[in-house]
Each structure stands twice: as C-alpha cells, then as structure tokens.
Amino acid sequence: TAHSQQPTAHSTNSNSLRRTAMFAPKMKNLNKGSAASNHNSTQRKSITHSVHTQTTAGDDSEYSSNGNSTKDTSESFAADTDDDMTNLLCERMAANQLEEGTETEQSKLISRLVQVKNRRRWEIQDSILDVIGQTPIVRLQRQPIPEGVELYVKCENTNPGGSLKDRLAMGIIEWAEMTGKLQPGQTVVEASSGNTGVGMAMVCASKGYPFVCVMSEAFSTERRKLMRFLGARVILTPKAHKATGMVIKAQELADQHGFFHAKQFENEANAWIHETTTGKEITQAFARQQKKLDHFFMAYGSGGTMLGVSRAFRKAAAQDKNKSAEAAAVANTRLHLCEPTNAPMVSSNIPTKYPEHGYPSTSFDTAHPVWSPHLMQGWATDFIPKLLAECKSEKGYHSVHQVSGGDALLCSQRLAQTEGIFCGISGGGILSAAIRHAQTCQPGTTILAVITDTGERYMSTALFDDIPLEMTEEEQALSNSTPSMAPPAPPALHGILPDNTDDLFGM
C-alpha cells in the first residue's frame, strides 16, 4: 500500500482524557528556506518547555508495544513526546512546509500536542469531556457470517453525546482555544446533520460557549430537540438547499456576528483527533489481544475519521513488526469506505472543485452531479469534503462499498434484536457492508466496523416506521392470557402527602 508516514502523538497513562491541551506558539511568522531551518532550535526549546511543564503521567498500568505491562513516568513520557513533536517540527521546517499564515499546518502542529490518556470510565471525572472516547470494541456473536470469521464493532454510540462526533467536537474546540481563534464567551457556529451539532452543544455547554447549529429541516426532529435541550440554538435551512446551504448559512452567520465557524468538513483538527484517539485505540486494542485486524469499515461523513484512522494505522505499521505488537496488528489492514448506493460520489471519481478564494471557502457553484437524497443521515453531503479528498490523495482507503438504505435499516434492527446493540441507520449501513464482505472471507479473518451513533435520535425516521406504538395482536393475545386483576385499594390516609403531589397515573 502506498502510504506516506505521518507521525502521531504518544498516548500515555492517566485517568482522564485531557481537556486542556498544551499551548504551542503560533507559526504564522515562519518563512521558507533557511529562515525556517534556523528557527529550529528556538522552536525546539519552546515545545520542550511546553511538554515538560504541562505533561503528567497517571498511575494506571499500560501495555508496551510488545504487549507487556509497563509503568511510564512523567519524565520518560515527556522525553518521548518531546522527541516526536520537535522532530516533526524540524522535518516540516526543513521541508519548507510551514508557510506564513497556513492554517492547516498550524492545526497539524498544535493538534498533535493534544495528549490522550488512558483512564477508567467508572472513576470520578472532572468533566463530561473526560469520558469522550475510549469506546469499547465488541465481538458480534449472531451475525450471518462464515464460521471462523471474527466480526467486531467499535461502539461510538457509547460516547456521552451518543455518537462518534463527540470526538470531533472536542478536538475542534480545543484546537480553536489553543490557536486563539476562539475567545472566552464567543459563540460557536457549525453546519451539521445533527450528530456534530449534539457533540458541539455538549462540549460548548461544558466549556461555557454559546452554540448555534445550522441544520437542514430534512433531518430528524430529535436532533433539534437534543441540541436545544443542551442550550444550543438551531437554525433550520430549506430542504432544497441541501448540505451546501447549511454551510453557506453558517458562514453567513459567522461573518455577520463574529461567530467562530468550526468548519468540520475541512478543519484538520477533525482528522487529528481521530488520529490520536480513535485510530490509536483500535491499534492498541488489537495489539493487546495479539490479533491482526484485516479489514476496517467506516462511512466518510466529514472525512475526518477515515483520514485520521488511516494515518494512525500508517504510523503504527511503519514500526518494526517483529518488535511492535501495534505494527503487527494493523500492518496489512485494508480500509473500506462506505457510501450510499444512490449517492455514489466517491465511486464516480468526480471531484468537488473548491475556489481558492470563495465565499464561503467551503462553497462551490453546483452540487455533486451524482448526489441524490438517501436515508443515511450524515453519511454523504452533496459535496466531497476537503478532508475526504485529502484522504483519497494519501491513499487512505483501499476500496469503496455502496450500501442501500434498506440494507442499513435491516442491519440496524438485526443488530439490536440479535446482539442488544442499539444503533442508528449510519451504523447499520457500515455494518451491512462489513457483513457482506465477511461472507466472502476465509476463516481467521478479522473485521472491524464502526457503530457511529445511537438509535434514539432516529425515532421519527424510517428506522422506526415498523415499530408500533400500541400493542400488536400477538402482544394483546399474550395480555389476554391472564385476568389482569386490579391491585387492592390503598387504605384511606390523610395529611401524609402534600396537596400538590404529582399524580403519575393522572398526568
């Protein structure tokens, strides 16, 4: 596989996922050539000071690359992190990659200083943000796949906001804080089909930022209510304007009112939070079990998850497989991208063209020519996100699988009724593609699919069309099989309960 090596931040031992990331100096004033190279020693000192003074190690045991339990000290971690960070800086400076005012390069450097620490979720946490990530990987036992094929799901529906996008929200907000793009009390605005909006609403509520979500009226009503319950304001755009209209409206609001626009479809912090958390968790999980992951399935959405995970896998695979369990786990992993059957934009190989200086920067003249409405909310907007285009240019995935809405619905329902895992249409669609591929695999093959969100935000959608509200005939017959005797009347007691007590049976 033609992959370029991308260094990643180290993960360390602790009981919390760090919310306050380390500050790194802005890189706007760096010039090309010798000036950038001569800046190395000063920048190295700054990064070293930042890492050593702000990094601590916890007491939890961690597994080394060969699977053995080890204990890290703050000094050894800081030294390792310092080497990784400063080497990355020097390499990019020497390669003249740090151009003045380049936002993406700044976000790469800064986002890589966000340290992810292992912790136990059941322990006391300082904030709800401390329980984002570290989601479980579960082996499925009752799916229609050949005997000997191992099928796993990474349950991102267990994040506190109910979806994978909690990670994105935390990463972008942390990055904006570190770069000074987000000021205390400033309003955050983002275009979202709902999951990013819910994650942003949760993170902003925890951190004290007002949040405005711009969402098409086509998406489920539960998402609007969830965000508003979390204190967000929700601006609805016409269904006919599609996702492009959402992005344009969000930029309009940012320009008019001075809001911080998160820009999930192009913000590099989106990819890096998945490189340093999601991808790292997967490599560590399979390495600790001494398993090789053969196939990884994910839909693209904003493009950040596939881009970040692919980079994490490349980073691990670049190590010596004879010495690193993580390298052995993902060295030959094939990454599979899922898209809707009736919106095969990636398969069409027709790119979305972005103007260098447009209004807004994420807009374009027309929607993608092969896009059409589909059931998988958040899977495929009417344009190819910049992060996904970057993933393709890096050869971040190996194949594309198309999934119908009907298959996604059936797989979501089957997963709930056979495994007890409650997921939305998106997760069902990804798992559907994984199962279809598993049916062609030999025994011993290991497959991982991502369950992106919970099913509760789909109750007003086609996912629940066949789920009745009243008793079915079978349920009524079962009820009628016993007399349904009334409970005995309570004794007449007075003066015990206040007069305004809620009567739950009369509400």
What residues are labeled active site? 165, 426
C-alpha distance from residue 101 to each of 31, 63, 199, 419 (Å)? 10, 40, 29, 50
Whether the link from the prior residue into 360 is cis, omega within 30° of 0, is yes
Q: How many helices (H) and strands (E) does the chain have?
A: 17, 14
Task: Find the length of the chain.
Answer: 507
Say how far apart CA 422 and CA 220 lie, in whole Å.
17
Sheet holding 295-299, edge to edge: 137-139, 150-155, 446-451, 295-299, 334-340, 399-403
Say how far apart CA 238 and CA 236 lie, in whole Å.
7
Q: Please, are residues 190 and 200 in contact by the beta-carbon 8 Å criterion?
A: yes
C-alpha distance from residue 95 to each of 16, 30, 251, 390 (Å)? 36, 13, 33, 19
Query: Which stretches of 437-479 are assigned E, i.e. beta strand?
Result: 446-451
- 340-371 per-residue burial string, b: 16 or more CB within 10 A, e: under 16: bbebbbbeeeeebeeeeeeeeebebeebbeeb
Q: Please, are residues 107 and 21 in contact by the beta-carbon 8 Å criterion?
A: no
Q: Please, are residues 151 and 143 in contact by the beta-carbon 8 Å criterion?
A: yes
